[in-house]
Amino acid sequence: MSGLGLAVIGAGIMGANHARVARQSNEVDLVAVVDQDPERASAAVESNGRWCTDVGEVVDDIEAAVVAVPTQHHHAIALDLIAAGKHLLIEKPLAGTVDEAREIVSAADAAGVILAVGHIERFNAAAAELSKWVQDPIHIRAERINPYSPRILDGVVLDLMIHDIDIVLSLAGDAEVAHVSGVGRHARSASEDLASATIRFTNGLTASLTTSRLGQQKIRQIEVTQPSSVVVADLLRQDITIHRMSSHEYLSDEGARYRQSSMVEIPFLETRGEPLALELAHFVECVRTGGRPRVDGEAGLRALALAHQIDGALSRSDAPEVVS
């Protein structure tokens, strides 16, 4: 094989997209798409592509796999593939529970295989470049708004907010979480449809995250306040805007006082592209070179642990009834 022999496990929406990106990559040979539903598996491959319903049929033919099955199945599938020596890119969240995620990370370390977690926003140009402009963050504000989708059964913390949790943790560095509080609201489903969380870190950094699937438009924005600037990353437009606080005061001849205090920079970002394709290319490079994934197992575990901590801290307000 000229490219990395890869199987995509799971042919839902994300799995189908992973299969599409893999087919288009010159660095990957898509060996097969695996799904328990034959129709879904066959639909995710080209007319001459290989598909099957059991990963055991292809495990000997692959070097790596993308795991895009429902979260509750990540643990069992990942441990089997790691035991077979296969490198893994596992969709977020890493596992259904923190204990399961920790087992996956430990197994991958022991086996010496690459483990990457599919926090795709880290491959968005704006998020990928954000750390270059953040030196001394004081406060991070993240907002992620979606229109409602009845297809999603998980609450917004594990479904949506976890993306921003991962980015906030990457900007917080080695600082530990000192305190978490939040509010969740039910409106159209049995799990929370809106959540707002506040996080305080041991180094004094604070963060506020708001996530909703009750919006009428998509919003993906992260704002970082620093002593002398505010950096705003728009993840939909894939751009960064820097507001510098340079204040100047002067008096007019009549004695009136004037102040001018704004300077805006919009840096050029060179890494634009489809984040899913960039994520796959990075995973392949890590497998080939033994490099550390941008979002490795430890990062995925840390994001999952904080997501569960936030979910447990939410003070929920239940709607009287679920709107169907």
> Residue 21 sits in a domain of what CATH number?
3.40.50.720
Nearest to 4 by CA among 66, 56, 74: 66
- The reply to whether 36 falls in a domain is yes
For residue range 267-276, what is the model confidence (pLDDT) as tens digits? Answer: 777 766 899 9
Predicted structure pTM score = 0.89
Judgement on whether residues 127 and 29 belong to the same structural domain of the protein: no
Task: Kindly report the backbone phi and psi dihedral angles of residue 70, in degrees, each rounded to the nearest multiple of 5, phi listed first.
Answer: -55, 145
Q: 275-289 vs 13-24: helix axis angle to the nearest 10?
A: 70
Judgement on whether residues 156 and 53 belong to the same structural domain of the protein: no
Judgement on whether residues 129 and 265 belong to the same structural domain of the protein: yes
* Lookup: tokens for 253: 């001849």
Judgement on whether residues 216 and 109 belong to the same structural domain of the protein: no
- The reply to whether 29 falls in a domain is yes
For residue range 236-246, what is the model confidence (pLDDT) as tens digits? Answer: 999 999 998 66
Say which residue, 140 or 48, is predicted with more confidence: 140
Q: In 92-187, which ranges are E strands?
A: 115-118, 139-145, 177-185
Classify 186 as helix, strand or coil: coil
Compute the average pLDDT of residues 122-146. Answer: 95
- The reply to whether 289 falls in a domain is no
Judgement on whether residues 137 and 237 belong to the same structural domain of the protein: yes
Classify 304 as helix, strand or coil: helix
Write down which residue in 64, 89, 113 finishes a domain: 113
List 33's β-bridge partners, or say none. 8, 51
Judgement on whether residues 202 and 108 belong to the same structural domain of the protein: no
Compute the average pLDDT of residues 271-284. Answer: 91
Whole-angstrom distance, CA of residue 29 vs CA of residue 8? 11
- The reply to whether 243 falls in a domain is yes
CATH number of the structural domain spanning residue 263: 3.30.360.10
Write down which residue in 113, 145, 178 finishes a domain: 113
Judgement on whether residues 130 and 36 belong to the same structural domain of the protein: no
List 223's β-bridge partners, or say none. 141, 232
Nearest to 311 by CA among 103, 152, 148, 154: 154
- The reply to whether 168 falls in a domain is yes
225: number of Cβ within 10 Å: 16
> Are residues 5 and 61 in contact, defined by beta-carbon separation less than 8 angstroms?
yes
Judgement on whether residues 180 and 313 belong to the same structural domain of the protein: yes
Whole-angstrom distance, CA of residue 84 vs CA of residue 264? 52
> Are residues 91 and 65 in contact, defined by beta-carbon separation less than 8 angstroms?
no
For residue range 311-321, what is the model confidence (pLDDT) as tens digits? Answer: 999 975 554 44
Judgement on whether residues 174 and 150 belong to the same structural domain of the protein: yes
Judgement on whether residues 67 and 190 belong to the same structural domain of the protein: no
- Number of structural domains (the chain) is 2
Nearest to 22 by CA among 46, 42, 41: 46
- The reply to whether 148 falls in a domain is yes
List 135's β-bridge partners, or say none. none
* Enclosing domain of residue 14: 4-113
Residues 6+ positions from 263 with CB-CB distance below 8 Å? 243, 244, 246
Judgement on whether residues 264 and 133 belong to the same structural domain of the protein: yes
- The reply to whether 323 falls in a domain is no
- Reported as type and span, the H/E element at residue 301 is helix 297-313
Residue 256 has pLDDT above 90, yes or no: no
* Lookup: tokens for 201: 């870190």
pLDDT of residue 94: 98
Compute the average pLDDT of residues 255-271. Answer: 70
Write down which residue in 93, 113, 133 finishes a domain: 113
Q: Do strands 219-225 and 139-145 pair parallel, antiparallel, or not at all (unpaired)?
A: antiparallel
pLDDT of residue 322: 41
Whole-angstrom distance, CA of residue 281 vs CA of residue 52? 25
Judgement on whether residues 312 and 173 belong to the same structural domain of the protein: yes
- The reply to whether 40 falls in a domain is yes
For residue range 178-225, what is the model confidence (pLDDT) as tens digits? Answer: 999 999 998 877 788 999 999 999 999 999 999 999 998 999 999 999
